[in-house]
Structure 1
């Protein structure tokens, strides 16, 4: 599948919000979260003031100028940024996630980050992608796995 990856720009922030919502794993047979979850501080922190914080990195995947996925990272502590990723359902399983992960890791290394982290529901099939990229389960964050990867 042909697609392009580019840097996330200010005009992409509404799409980033959509992708943050899309990244919230909903197990098969359960109702999706209401969109108001985007207003919860634990979720809104991924988008609020995007680009104003030093070290924010985001990438957009596009196919024929249609945005089809995004990956982003943001620093919430002193040294390890947290990543998020989402691909529109109809474009999953086509290598877009792999390409976005590789591109983000390159950007993160170039920025000087030493390590990345993420949290994921252990029932989420994306866990396999993260493990393929070398992320390791290092603990729990409520009911989510905390995973980390050294970039050096």
Structure 2
């Protein structure tokens, strides 16, 4: 049994999940190195600004096991899954020990509803082209292909 709740003060766990969400199959840099790189730092730096939202999954013992979040970007600070300044980009990761048990799907359903409730018209995400299992899950949830840039696919979910 898993429960979804609002992000509280678990910034270190959020950073752990951000690191896990970055698909680098071989020679992945350490968390400390990767999270300070300019392309990744923009996803967590100054967290808590307008448009930032995160949800946390916890297990029956109240242990954090996954997270999903979104953030708005703009033309001067584009993200990998950037559509426009009114479309938040989602990131998500689940702890290895609970993968395949529906936590990711539960998180995604909750963040989609959250974005809809907040009045957004769409949400986006970026996924590595080699991450076929994630692409399949996103398609099942209703995300559609938007564009391919380099080794990543941007997908969009319209309300």
Instruction: Find the partner of 1:85 among 67, 70, 92.
Output: 92
**Number of residue pairs matched by the alignment:** 146
Q: Which segments of 5 or more consecutive residues in structure 1 lack a partner in the other structure? A: none
Q: Which segments of 5 or more consecutive residues in structure 2 lack a partner in the other structure? A: 75-84
1:59 matched to 2:67? The reply is no
Matches within 5 A, 1:90-109: 90-109=97-116
Q: CA deviation at 1:117?
A: 0.6
Following TM superposition, the consecutive aligned residue runs of length 4 or more in structure 1 with deviations greater than 3 angstroms are none
- Equivalents in 2 of 1:136, 1:4: separation in Å? 27
**RMSD, aligned CA:** 1.1
Q: CA deviation at 1:91?
A: 0.6
For residues 43-88 of structure 1, give each alpha carbon's deviation from its aligned partner in whole angstroms, at most 9, with x where no partner exists: 111111111x112111000111211000000000321110000001
Instruction: Find the partner of 2:126 among 119, 136, 142.
Output: 119
1:146 matched to 2:133? The reply is no
Give the TM-score normalised by structure 2.
0.88
In the alignment, which residue of structure 1 is the partner of 2:47? 50
**Secondary structure at the counterpart of residue 65 of structure 1:** coil
